[in-house]
A and B are shown apart, each in its own frame.
Chain A
Amino acid sequence: MPLAEAPQAVPDIEAFLDQDRHKDLLRFTTAGSVDDGKSTLIGRLLYDSRGVYEDQIAALKRSTVNRSTGKIDFSLLTDGLRAEREQGITIDVAYRYFATSKRKFIIADTPGHEQYTRNMATGASTADLAVVLIDARNGVLSQSRRHAFIATLLGIRHILVTVNKMDLVDFREDVFERIREEFASHLKRLGVEGARFIPICALDGDNVIARSARTPWYRGESLLEYLESVPLDGDRTRGPMRFPVQIVIRPGLDFRGYAGQVVSGVIRRGDPVMVLPSGRASRIKSLAAWGGDVAEVIAPMPATVCLEDELDVSRGDMLVHPAEAPRVSRHFEAALVWMNEQPLRLDRPYLLKHTTQQLRANVIAIAHRVNINTLAQEPADALELNEIGRVAIETARPLFFDAYRANRWTGSFILIDPIGNSTVAAGMIQEPERPTTADRAARSALLELEFQAGRLTPAERFARAGHYPAAIWLPARRELAYLLERRLFQRGCQVHALAEDVESAILPELAALLTAAGLIAIFSVSNPDLAERERAKAEVGGGRFFHFEAQSLAANDEEAVRQICATLEDHGVLLQGDLSGAEGI
């Protein structure tokens, strides 16, 4: 038989195929404790939606274990491993698949034990929706609260609460309503709006696939109807474009492409881009793809990008749109889920993996630990297995990131133990609170220098020095910074350049201090940390802060110095022309 393509189709099958492959995908996580019937519910969903095969059911019927009261123990469909079957508990995350005519579903099935917080976090990390189970007989227990908390912490916006075992409370509406009221107020504290509540009996299938006649007072959708219709709001194409480079593709001398996944936004041919951390600018020349170049790639699809300029770009770098840069810093705060038997230690270095970067990092402070049952914030000097806390992190090199709430893919990271190699924590970067713990720590040395408002006035300083103070923020061009310092010095200015690797978190304070002392302070930093730049501007005062973009400056250093001086003159920082006549010395 020739190595031909598979024989092609007849039309009516084609129509079926077309419908079938245009389904979208909903990922959800389930969390429940040992006895609230989670495995039974999933077994039931799979069974009734034909996600289980006849031979698997036959094998179940043959199985020597049946922990349920029904004919078939549906929970055996999902409890995969021997140890679990022996202990009767689910000890790890298991993934299940089923599809209806409307959607394909992936279930991350996680256990509910307190000690398995890490598994719940794992399952929730990729889910769009969380199904929380409550046993109607027991009401709201701390584990249900915990599930909801972890789901929201991991960024899940849809919470579906199923009140199970309604048969054991005679399908009473008041039992359901009481649970609903209590849990809804808990969800409100977590910031969850519009959670759905459904009364079910997983064992018999009430309100799982079809609405049940045994709950005539319930007018909502069945569980499956809800799963099939809930809008997927995780449209990743809307956010700012983020393209972490995974690997450089270089089949020969005439092609150099950067391969990666567009983790958010859209990348288009012709778009201007900035490369982080270098801050260099270029433009998308082409987007290579199997089957021919394309004009755009939307998140979360893979792309291979060729740039117009020959830049040194490698794995770990990120392409972004220049107008929508992420935060760039070595310091940030994060929520941390600790996942290892060895507790978190502040004196120990970890490896941090974020997008396609892996670098050394230290946890420099623990702001607090969250009691996952009461949500109270408690002081802590360690995080143990399955504990959650807010921490300050310092990385060896700058990271480019967004807050997790804004972008799951550039706001998440894991910590790895560099000796044992295990994954010890999952982190979610938080929006900065000012001043952050990280800032405070880095700034402690400066605190002692904090000065009172001087007695010398700016006018007096101007009369003496012949210029006003200013902060000049340059791109990463060290030689330019030093040349500018020299030229201004030659003009008689009091000037100081900072162009070595400076701790970026304290740059704003340094700028404030140096300008308060009457100096012209020149900063040329190797990573364009926009947040720090904005803060420096605020500290110094907009009228004394001058930011020069890489693209706006001449490539020749002398030429660029002349441009900068002209700007300073225009703004009255320097007197017009040359003060001392020393230019050119």
Chain B
Amino acid sequence: MNQRLTHLRLLEAESIHILREVAAEFARPVMLYSIGKDSSVMLRLAQKAFYPDKIPFPLLHVDTGYKFQEMIEFRDRYTAQIGVRLIVHQNRRALDEGANPFRLGTQKCCGLLKTRALLEALTEGGFDAAFGGARREEEKSRAKERVYSFRDALGQWDPKNQRPELWNLFNGRIDKGESIRVFPLSNWTELDVWHYIHLERIAVVPLYFAKLREMVVRGETLIPVEHDIPLAPGERPQWVMCRMRSLGCAPCTGAVLSEADTVPKIIAELAALRRSERENRIIDHDQEGSMELKKREGYF
């Protein structure tokens, strides 16, 4: 009998171990739910980890108000379908004061609507551990992120003062007010995520699949026409066959030209492609080392 396990099964085992450790060791865990493909995988792993019980912690969605409508619809239907508690949090004050990426610029907008809102929600809920779907492969500063990422009482990350992490032994000791961000998908790649979605028949937001969409074409960037994106002089939306490779806020998430309208086609496309998935995320590139700076301030 061939007892060899594939890399996907090994990754699954590692992630489920992490999910269970956190559920057992922390008083109030929460799972950050971004509605994207990584969140979908993380959610399935949590279902498996605690089966036949329900997922023993709530989901938290930090809603910037600029997400795609399809994402919000998907979120509400899917979480209701699997019977998990969902907390939606917005930085209401900033939104009321008219925070938006067009006026404030992406850095300030993210700071208010994502990082600030996230920290508010974590404090409000008294959460001592928060799962995130980030993967080390995504970005250089994430390559050094721990599975258990210690955050001080202000939610900040100190890359020089991280706890050594050996074997599968995680140190979750914290004092009052401090918290741990937990990354069960640390060792997954984008390709692994899609393979798993395919293997496990996991539902994802339809925005990931190619179809004709109305887009503003700016150089090589395709920006969806949603949330009243201001047009430059002479710019006109066009119908383009494209899909989203990663999902963020509509104004800051570019699409890629693609014909891939099924999961296998996406996998085949990725295997041939040599562009990284966060390339179309404007916020990663607003200044050098920008992800590291956001993380230090409390971003995932």
Q: Which residues of A contact B (CB under 8 A)?
A: 1, 3-10, 13-14, 16-17, 20-25, 50, 52-56, 63, 77-78, 80-83, 85, 91-97, 99, 104, 106, 118-119, 121-122, 125-126, 232, 235, 237, 246-247, 249-251, 255, 257, 259-261, 288-290, 298, 300-302, 304, 315, 339, 351, 353-354, 356, 408-409, 412-414, 416, 418, 421-423, 426
CA distance A65 to B191 in the complex (A): 31
5 A-B pairs with the lowest CB-CB distances in the bound complex, closest first:
A53-B276, A80-B140, A9-B264, A125-B166, A251-B53
- Bits for B36-62, please: 1 = Cβ < 8 Å to A, else 0: 000000000001111111100000000
Which residues of chain B are near A83, meaning CB under 8 Å? 159-160
Residue on B with the closest CB to A95?
B136
9 contacts between A and B (CB under 8 A): A25-B10, A97-B189, A122-B166, A126-B168, A247-B23, A255-B52, A298-B3, A409-B168, A423-B165
Number of residues of chain B lying within 8 A (CB) of chain A: 81
Residue in A22, A237, A255, A302 whose CB lies within 8 Å of B17? A302
B264–A3 touching, CB < 8 Å = no
Q: What does the 1/0 interface line of B254-266 toward A look like (CB < 8 Å)?
A: 0000000111110
Instruction: Compute how far the CA of A95 lies from the CA of B50 in the bound complex, rounded to whole angstroms.
Output: 28
Complex Cα–Cα for A81 and B209 (A):
34
Interface status of B214 (Cβ within 8 A of chain A): no
Known: A7-B262, A97-B187. A80 touches B143 (CB 8 A): yes
Q: A1-B206, A81-B159 are in contact. Are A235 and B52 (CB under 8 A)?
A: no
With a CB–CB cut-off of 8 A, which chain A residues contact B227?
Answer: none
Q: Is B144 within 8 A of A6, CB to CB?
A: no
B144 lies within 8 A of A4 (CB): no
Cβ of A3 and Cβ of B3 under 8 Å apart? no
CA distance A265 to B274 in the complex (A): 40
CA distance A17 to B203 in the complex (A): 18
Check B209 against A6 for contact (C-beta < 8 Å).
yes
Q: How far is the CB of A240 from chain B (nearest CB, A)?
A: 16
SS class of chain A's interface: helix, strand, loop or mixed?
A: mixed
Contact in complex: A288, B7 (CB < 8 Å)? no
Interface residues of B (CB under 8 A from A): 3-13, 16-17, 20-21, 23-24, 47-54, 70, 74, 77-78, 81, 136-137, 140-144, 159-160, 162-169, 171, 173-175, 186-187, 189, 191-192, 195, 197-199, 201-204, 206, 209, 261-265, 267-268, 271, 274-276, 279, 288-289, 292
Contacts A83-B159, A94-B144, A255-B52; A7 near B263 (Cβ below 8 A):
yes
- Measured between beta carbons, the chain B residues less than 8 angstroms from A422 are 163, 171
Q: How long is the Cα–Cα vector from A522 to B198 in the complex, in angstroms?
A: 62
A20 B267 Cβ-Cβ under 8 A: yes
CB-defined contacts of B265 to chain A, threshold 8 Å: 9-10, 13
- CB-based contact A81/B166 at 8 Å: no
| Contact (Cβ within 8 A) A290 B143 | no
Q: How far is the CA of A302 from the CA of B17 in the complex (A)?
A: 7
Cross-chain contact A421 with B264 (CB below 8 angstroms) = no
- For residue A338, give the distance in angstroms from its CB to the closest CB of chain B: 11
Are A290 and B263 in contact, CB atoms less than 8 angstroms apart?
no
B13 touches A261 (CB 8 A): yes
Name the contact of B49 in the complex, choosing from A14, A63, A302 (C-beta under 8 A).
A302
B167 & A9 in contact (Cβ 8 Å cutoff): no
In the complex, which of the residues A55, A126, A246, A413 contacts B275, with contact meaning CB atoms closer than 8 Å? A55
CA distance A7 to B24 in the complex (A): 37
Please state if B264 and A13 are interface contacts (CB–CB under 8 Å).
yes
**Are A237 and B3 CB-contacts (below 8 A) given A4-B203, A290-B51?**
yes
